[in-house]
Amino acid sequence: MKKLWELFYTFAIVGVTTFGGGYAMLPALQREVVEKRHWATEEELMDWYAIGQCTPGVIAVNTATFAGEKQGGALGGIVASLGVVFPSLVIITIIAAFIQGFADIPAVQHAFAGIRACVCVLILNAVVKLWKKSVIDLKCFGIFAVVFLGSVFLHLSPVIYVIVAGLAGFVLKRLEVKA
C-alpha cells in the first residue's frame, strides 16, 4: 500500500507542478523517475517516451503507466496514471466553472501568453535532453534527419515514423554486426 501511495503522490506532484501537458511534463518525469527515485534508467524512460508517443493517450500518462507498472504491477500502473491526471482533472474542473467570466480580461490573456512561452522552453529542454541521449552517432543522426524531414513535409501519423525509425535502427544494427 505504501508503494501505491508513493506512486500516486509522485505522479500527482508531477501533474500539479507541470503546466502545458504531456511534453512539458517530460523534464519533470525524467527528474522524478530517473534522477530522484531511480525507478527507471534513462534508456528505459526514452523507450517509454517512444512507445507512449505512438500509442493512444497523453505521453505523460503513458509514461506514468509504464513506471507504475514496473514498480507495482498492473495496479501500480493504474495508480500512477490516476496520480498524474488527478491534479489536472481538479484544476480544469475549477477553471471550467469560471473561465467564461475572466477569459477576456487582458491581464489573464497576457498571463496565458507568458505561460505558453514558458511551456515552449520546457519542451525545448526536454528535446535537448532526449537529443543528448538518443542521437549518439551518425546512424542515429541519419534516422533523426529522415524522420524530421518526413514529419515536416509528409504529415504522416507518428506511428509510421516510429515504426520506420525502429526498422531502420534494427537494420542498421544488423548490418553493423555482419560487417
Task: Evaluate whether 43 touches 30 at the Cβ level (below 8 Å).
Answer: no
Cα torsion 88, 91, 94, 95: sign: negative
Task: Evaluate whether 146 touches 166 at the Cβ level (below 8 Å).
Answer: no
19 backbone dihedrals φ, ψ, rounded to 5°:
-105, 145
Dihedral of CA atoms 83, 32, 30, 171 in degrees, nearest 10, equals -80
Residue 82 has pLDDT above 90, yes or no: yes
Task: Evaluate whether 133 touches 31 at the Cβ level (below 8 Å).
Answer: no
Tell me the percentage of the chain whose pLDDT exceeds 90: 36
Tell me the percentage of the chain whose pLDDT exceeds 70: 97
pLDDT in the model for residue 179: 67
pTM beyond 0.85: no
Confidence label for 74 from pLDDT (cuts 50, 70 and 90): very high
Residue 84 to residue 107: CA distance in whole angstroms? 29
User: Minimum mean pLDDT among 5-9, 16-20, 31-35: which range?
Assistant: 16-20
Task: Evaluate whether 54 touches 88 at the Cβ level (below 8 Å).
Answer: no
